[in-house]
Each structure stands twice: as structure tokens, then as C-alpha cells.
Chains A and B, each alone.
Chain A
Amino acid sequence: MSEAVLVAPPPVGRATLLARPAAKVGLGIVLLFLFVCAAAPLLAPYDPYAQDLMHALAGPSALHPLGTDQYGRDVLSRVLYGARYALFAVIVGDGLALVLGSTLGLLAGYIGGVVDAVIMRLVDILLAFPYLLLALILVAALGPSLLHSLIAIGIVYTPQYARLIRGQVLTVRQTDFVRATRALGASRWRVLLRHVTPNSLSPVVVMATLQAGSVIIETAGLSFLGLGAQPPSPDWGALLADGQNYFLTAWWIATFPGLAIFCVVLGFNLFGDALRRAFDPRAQ
């Protein structure tokens, strides 16, 4: 019997994963989002930074389908380019949390003892902060910028990955094949890297997808407060902050970036939910 069969979840077929219409919608939105990120220069009708003061605060029209902002910049172009910032947030923020949290969780669960106690106390302390407060403190320390806000978001989400992976490792290290590998003389680190790690990481895929939506919202929230991406970058949160000053007279500036955030987050949530159902036998 292969090692993976003992602990890995049942194989997830495309039919199981996409059984519900909501999952298909979610996957469709995520794929569309990735396409927009890749093809933004081809799809955007204007340069997102190009100012045209003659057409400042113009409402939606054939020329500017989503209107223009206070500097006459095309809102559609800025929203399309903003998708790249959201993807960057997912890759850096969610990615950092995944790498940091998984490493800490693996070390805590596998080594145990004092290492486990120290790491888990640190995790508990980080969990004692409301999400945005911890992100605010870290941004206050590092200084407002997109990269710093993403580092802050990455650290904020690290404890959740650490807890999840630690739990997985504690289960996997007790399995027969890990004991057998140890009995055959494999070194501690070889067992960790070749056997425990690959068999502990499958729930991380689900968590990373579900967290992607939250990371996009939190990053946009920090930019909205002026602590993330700075003007004139077309980050969705920064666009909303821009639009806030004009939303009573030019509703379109804030409406469309917010709608974009909502749709993409909904897509990640629907697809993440489908992944969770497919991977978790109890949810099926």
C-alpha cells in the first residue's frame, strides 16, 4: 500500500469539486479575475494614469463606460489594472502567511516540546488581536505602503495556517508509515521533509483559497484608510478612498471598484467552499 493512501484525503475528482452550480460560478469568477489580471493592458481602453482634466468627474458614457475620476482618469481602466494589485495582494499576503504559518506549524507539530510551546504561545498572542488592529500596528511600525500592508496582512493570517498544519502534523506523525520510515533508519529531517510535510499540506490549499478573499478585503481596507497602496496606484481600496470624497456627486468612482472587490471575493469564497466540501469528507 502506498504511504499517501493511509492519510491523504480521498481523491478529488472534477465532478465532485464542481458538483454544485455555486462552485462553477466561483471557479468562473476566479478564472475571469486571472484573465483580467493577465490581459489588463489589452482590455483597458485608456492608460490608467492618464489625466484628462477636461473630462474630470464625467459620468458613465460610451467614451468612458464607468465614468472618470477627479483627474479625468478612466475608471474602467483603473479598475481593470486594479485587479493586478488584488492578485499581488493574494500572492504576497496569502503566500507569506502560508509559508510562515506552514513552517511554524510543521516545526511545532514535529519537534514538539519547548519549540511547540514557544511557537504556539506566540500564535496565541497574535490571535489575541483583532485582525485589522494587528495589521494597523504592524503598518504603523513599518510605515504606510502597499508592500508593508501586505507583510502586515501576511503576519496577521500566519497563526491560522500554523494551527492548521500543526494539527495535521500531529496526526501524520503517528501514522504507521511514518513510524515504519523511522524504524528503517530515515533521519528526522528526511522524515519531516519527505513524508510528513507532503502529507500535511492538502488542507492548506483549501485554506489559502478561502483566505484569498479575506486578504483582498483586508488589503483594500488598509488602502482605504490610507495605510496601504498610495495614490496614484489603481489599487481597488485606494480607488474607493478616492471616490469617498466625491461619492455624493460622482457615485461611479467608488461604486465600481467596490463591486469588483465584492465579485472577486465572492468568487474565491464560492470556489473555496467547494474545495472544502470536496476535501472534507464530513462536509460531503
Chain B
Amino acid sequence: MLLGVSVVVFVAMHLLPGDVATLLLGDRATAASLARLRHELGLDQPVFVQYWRFLSGALSGDFGTSLRDNRPALGEVLQAFPTTIELTVSALALAVAIGLPLGVFAAFREGTWLDTAITTPTLFGVSMPVFWLGLMALLLFSEKLGWLPTGGLMPIGAHVPERTGLSIIDAFLTGNAALIWQAIRHLLLPAATLATIPLALITRITRGEVLASMHLDHVRTARAKGLPEGRVRRAHILRNALIPIVTVIGLQLGLLLSGAFLTETIFSLPGLGRLMVDAILARDYPVVQTGAIFIAGLFVLVNFAVDISYGLLDPRVRRKGAR
């Protein structure tokens, strides 16, 4: 799969309009200097030779250097990665922590005003453009109310030694409560913005799956044999509803990474999304190529982890796998 991903990214990058050598040396470069640079970069080789060189380089950790600042492309991606992972994990944690109980609560109160009060906003949530919501949240919570900062990971001038690249963890490592609070305040608005759509989806799916599980035969049997209602709900309804919910939660990563590209732009966060957009606009193709393979690889690994989790959650999957 990762090989296929690398082919798609490589082919797409080599369809780039314009000549990379001209891009690097400028329009006034001589034909001789352009030819020399093309030879140095291997651009005068057949495409499959270029791909092989790219692949063998990538396997040994060499993804080329950024055309903008001549730094290793992988280094730039790894530097931006912690910000994106911090943002997406915080958003997913928020979405799961709120969406899961809300969905269960709405299902157990199906048809009541509480159910309507929960499900109606979720319909609005899935139709919300995250980049607009981010701007409106900034306008309200930062500009009008002044509760939260307008962007960045830390206040200007705050010095936090970078150990993990995760602003909250780095702030914790300083042991300074004021810095920890600042790190949380800076992350709150972007994470909440990014969590909106997954929160709505998780709530809707949880409600739907719990409702579907409530009417299964084994639940009726469990009630008929006199099990306490709490145990029926926990062991028979929720456990059974969990598999499709976990799938949906796993699938949110793609949505979150897509949303992170926009959220990072709005909140001026130095993450992978912003790095990629800047690299595309500057046609810095080694960085785009490296970032794309890195993110797609991460996405494939998470989907694989979700597949494995089925076995842990569902004994039927374990048995099928053992056969």
C-alpha cells in the first residue's frame, strides 16, 4: 500500500508544470547551468530511474532537501509533525469524550426533547465549514470576549525549551503552572474547532448504533432472564455497538488531518498542514512529496490499528481469525 502511495505522490509531483531547474535558478539562468543542475538533480534520467533513486533514498531516510531553505525535507516534516499530532489527538479526544456519552444518552432517551436537542445540532455540525467556524470562534472568543488567544502555540516572548515538540507536554516538563495554562489556552480553540465535525459524526453514529443494538434478540433475552438494566446496557447493548463506533472514530483521522490543514492556517500553528500548503505555493516539491508520504503512511498505519482493534473488541472476529 505504501509503495502505491509513493508511486501516486511521485507521479503527481513529476507532472508539475514548469521545470524545477528553472524554478531553482530563475528565468535568467543560462542553458548550460540549467543542464548542469538537471544532471546534478538526476532530472535528465528516465522517470522510472528517478523513481528508483527516490525510493532507495527514501528507504534510507533521505527524502531530498527543501528547495526553499536547503534543509533536509524529512527534518522539516518531523519538526512540524508534533504540532499536527497534538492538535488532531486533542481534537479527537474532545470529540470522543463528548460525542460518545452524548450519543448514548440520546439513544436511551429516543424520541424525547433531549434526543432532539442533541441530534439537531449534530446535523448542523456535519455541515459546518471548519475554516469558517474557526474564524467565527476567533471573532467571538478572542476578539469580542477576550477569553482566548488569537493564534500560535505560546504567547510571544514565552520561553519553553522544546523537548518533545508538543507544546503542552513541553510546558509540563518546565513545571511552570502559568506556562501549562498558557499552552492549554492556546490549544483549546483550534482543537475545539477541529473537533466539531468529528463530534457531530461520533454522536450521530453512536446514537444510531446503540439504538440498533437495543432491539437485538440477545438484548431481549438478557432482559427476559432478569439481568439488571445497567448490566444489559453495559454488557449487551454498548459492547455490541462499540465496533462500528470504533471504525468511525478511526476513520476520523483522515477528516481531522484534512481539517488540520485549514485549522493550522487560521490559527497560525506551525504544523504539517501549514508546511504543506506553504510548500505547494512555493513549489517546494521535496517537502510536499515527503509530507504527503509521511501523512499517508500514518493514515495507513492508523487504519491497520483500527482493524486490529476489532479482534480485541469482538470475540467473533478473534475466532474467525484463529480459524
A-to-B contact residues, CB < 8 Å = 22, 121-122, 124-126, 128-133, 136-144, 213, 217, 220-221, 224-227, 237, 240, 243-244, 247-248, 251, 254-255, 257-259, 261-262, 265-266, 269-270
Contacts and interface: CB of A to CB of B under 8 A. Distances in A.
Contacts of B257: 130, 132-133
Interface stretch (B38-46, B152-160, B291-299): B291-299
Contacts of A121: 4
A128 B299 contact: yes
A122 B4 CA distance: 8
B124 interface: yes
A136 B129 contact: no
Contact of A140 (B4, B16, B139, B299): B16
A136 B279 CA distance: 11
Chain B residues touching A, range? 35 or more
B254 A130 contact: yes
A22 B277 CA distance: 37
Interface string B102-133: 00000000000000000000011011111111
A30 to B, nearest CB: 13
B60 to A, nearest CB: 23
A247 B139 contact: yes
B226 interface: no
B92 interface: no
B199 interface: no
A244 B288 contact: no
Interface string B1-25: 1001101110011011100000000
Contacts of A258: 129, 131-133, 135-136
Per DSSP, are chain A's interface residues mostly helix, strand or loop, or mixed? helix
A125 B300 CA distance: 10
B132 A262 contact: yes
Interface string B65-87: 00000000000000000000000
A248 B254 contact: no
Given A130-B257, A244-B266, A125 B135 contact: no
Given A141-B12, A213-B127, A225-B265, A133 B277 contact: no
Given A227-B280, A266-B123, A133 B143 contact: no
Given A133-B296, A240-B131, A258-B136, 11 more contacts: A121-B4, A125-B7, A125-B8, A128-B4, A143-B17, A224-B131, A227-B277, A240-B129, A254-B135, A261-B129, A262-B128
Contacts of A140: 12-13, 16, 280, 283, 285, 288
Interface in B296-313: 296, 299-300, 303
Contacts of B261: 132-133, 136, 221, 225
B295 A130 contact: yes
Nearest to B259: A132
Given A129-B5, A132-B258, A136-B280, A248 B288 contact: no
B255 interface: yes
B211 interface: no
A119 B228 CA distance: 51
A128 B262 contact: no
A209 to B, nearest CB: 13
Contacts, number: 142
B296 A266 contact: no
A145 to B, nearest CB: 11
Nearest to A126: B8
Interface in B33-68: none
Interface in B206-255: 253-255
Given A141-B13, A254-B135, A128 B1 contact: yes
A139 B255 CA distance: 19
Contacts of A224: 131, 262, 265
Contact of B12 (A137, A269, A270): A137
Contact of A270 (B123, B139, B276): B123
Contact of A243 (B124, B130, B135, B258): B135
A76 to B, nearest CB: 17
B15 A141 contact: yes
B247 to A, nearest CB: 14
B178 interface: no
A243 B135 CA distance: 9
Contacts of A143: 17
B32 interface: no
Given A128-B1, A248-B139, A269-B127, A261 B132 contact: yes
B108 to A, nearest CB: 21
B5 to A, nearest CB: 5
Contact of A144 (B281, B295, B296): B281
B135 A128 contact: no
A255 B126 CA distance: 18
A83 to B, nearest CB: 15
Given A128-B300, A130-B258, A137 B129 contact: no
Contacts of A248: 139, 143
Which A-B residue pairs are the 10 nearest by beta carbons?
A258-B132, A132-B258, A125-B4, A130-B254, A266-B127, A141-B12, A130-B257, A265-B127, A140-B280, A141-B15
B262 A225 contact: yes
B138 interface: yes
A139 B280 contact: yes
A226 B281 contact: yes
Contacts of A257: 132
A60 B139 CA distance: 17
Given A128-B300, A144-B281, A224-B131, A251 B139 contact: yes
A225 B277 contact: yes
